[in-house]
């Protein structure tokens, strides 16, 4: 085969599969087939890009690249299918090693972003982290990635796992703190909206500042009186009190030299 990659099979029909398939189609890449265990889901996506839906991997025909975009815990098993082993196969997961794939020609094409089916992804700003077992295939994936995004990086499985771990902190865990903030206000019959200007201002500050340089609050300044009052306010929500306590101690420790 020769590069650039001109045809792709899509294995999966979830959020990442939907958004990436639409983008590949837009770039003029041929989407040969769309597989999903649900033929309805495969059909919905295939229709949007002039492709053929299948729900049986035995029917998979060849393409320059098979993109495996399914749940993490299914990747290793599905990747053993003969039609995938004997092809160029890449997954799109942050936390699964490339070598979970059994194909000789294997790779990773990981978009570092939270995607949803319904909202068109701004692909040009989404970092794409690339890995491949064969040098020529890596060139092919990098070339494809650079047509999609301005931020393309070659990252091995070990580093990618740490990026995914950090992403859990700054994405999933940050969202949970927003849930807690809303819970605290709702408990007192107040609306979460009042916090939004503060949230946006705080987070957008990292455009110009390192997070460590802009830490503020009672824990940072060692204000134990306020910390105790806050723990007291949370006495009927012990899980949130435990989080408050642990994060305050962590802030104090991380900034310990300054106190």
Q: How many residues bind its own copies (CB under 8 A)?
A: 83
Q: Shortest approach of its own copies to residue 203 CB, angstroms? A: 5
**Where in 10-69 is the site for its own copies (CB under 8 A)?**
none
**Where in 198-217 is the site for its own copies (CB under 8 A)?**
198-207, 210-212, 214-217
**HEC-encoded secondary structure of the chain:** CCCCCCEEEEECCCHHHHHHHHHHHHCCCEEEEEECCCHHHHHHHHHHCCCEEECCHHHCCCCCEEEECCCHHHHHHHCCCHHHHCCCEEECCCCCCHHHCCCCCEEEEEECCCCCCCCCCCHHHCCEEEEECCHHHHHHHHHHHHHHCCCEEECCHHHHHHHHHHHHHHHHHHHHHHHHHHHHHHHCCCCHHHHHHHHHHHHHHHHCCCHHHHCCCCCCCCCHHHHHHHHHHCCCCHHHHHHHHHHHHHHHHHCHHHC
Q: Shortest approach of its own copies to residue 2 CB, angstroms? A: 31
Q: Shortest approach of its own copies to residue 190 CB, angstroms? A: 6
Q: Shortest approach of its own copies to residue 162 CB, angstroms? A: 5
Closest CB to its own copies among 138 and 153? 153
**Where in 154-173 is the site for its own copies (CB under 8 A)?**
158-159, 161-163, 165-173
The window from 39-47, 60-68, 137-145, 174-182 that contacts its own copies (CB under 8 A) reads 174-182
226 binds its own copies (CB under 8 A): yes
Measured between alpha carbons, how far is 185 from 190 in angstroms, rounded to an integer?
5
Closest CB to its own copies among 59 and 254? 254
According to CB under 8 A, which one of 30, 114, 139, 157 is a site residue for its own copies? 114
**Where in 65-94 is the site for its own copies (CB under 8 A)?**
72-73
Q: What residues pair up with 33 in beta bridges, in sequence order?
A: 52
Measured between alpha carbons, how far is 56 from 59 in angstroms, rounded to an integer?
6
Closest CB to its own copies among 135 and 193? 193
145 closest CA partner among 108, 93, 94? 108
According to CB under 8 A, which one of 61, 120, 187, 228 is a site residue for its own copies? 187
Measured between alpha carbons, how far is 153 from 202 in angstroms, rounded to an integer?
28
**Where in 125-154 is the site for its own copies (CB under 8 A)?**
125-127, 151, 153
According to CB under 8 A, which one of 59, 77, 136, 253 is a site residue for its own copies? 253
According to CB under 8 A, which one of 47, 77, 136, 196 is a site residue for its own copies? 196
Closest CB to its own copies among 48 and 153? 153
According to CB under 8 A, which one of 26, 38, 102, 177 is a site residue for its own copies? 177
The structure tokens listed for 199 are 């949230």
240 binds its own copies (CB under 8 A): yes
């Amino acid at each position: 085969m020769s590069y650039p990659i001109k045809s792709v099979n899509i294995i999966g029909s979830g959020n990442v599969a939907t958004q990436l398939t639409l983008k590949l189609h837009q770039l003029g890449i041929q989407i040969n087939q769309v597989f999903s265990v649900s033929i309805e889901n495969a059909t919905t996506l295939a229709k949007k890009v002039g492709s053929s839906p299948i729900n049986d991997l035995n029917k998979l025909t060849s393409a320059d690249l098979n993109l495996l975009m399914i749940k993490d815990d299914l990747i290793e098993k599905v990747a053993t299918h003969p039609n995938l082993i004997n092809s160029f196969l890449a997954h799109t997961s942050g936390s699964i090693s490339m070598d979970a794939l059994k194909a000789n020609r294997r790779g990773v094409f990981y978009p570092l972003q939270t995607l949803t089916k319904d909202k068109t992804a701004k692909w040009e700003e989404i970092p794409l982290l690339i890995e491949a077992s064969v040098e020529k295939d890596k060139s092919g994936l990098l070339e494809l990635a650079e047509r999609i995004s301005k931020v393309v990086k070659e990252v091995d499985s070990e580093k990618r796992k740490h990026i995914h771990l950090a992403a859990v902190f700054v994405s999933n865990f940050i969202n949970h703190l927003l849930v807690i903030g809303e819970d605290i206000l709702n408990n007192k019959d107040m609306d979460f909206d009042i916090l939004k200007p503060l949230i946006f201002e705080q987070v957008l500050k990292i455009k110009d500042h390192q997070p460590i340089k802009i830490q503020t609050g009672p824990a940072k300044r060692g204000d134990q009186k306020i910390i105790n009052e806050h723990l007291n306010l949370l006495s009927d929500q012990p899980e949130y009190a435990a989080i408050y306590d642990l994060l305050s101690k962590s802030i104090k420790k991380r900034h310990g030299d300054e106190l």
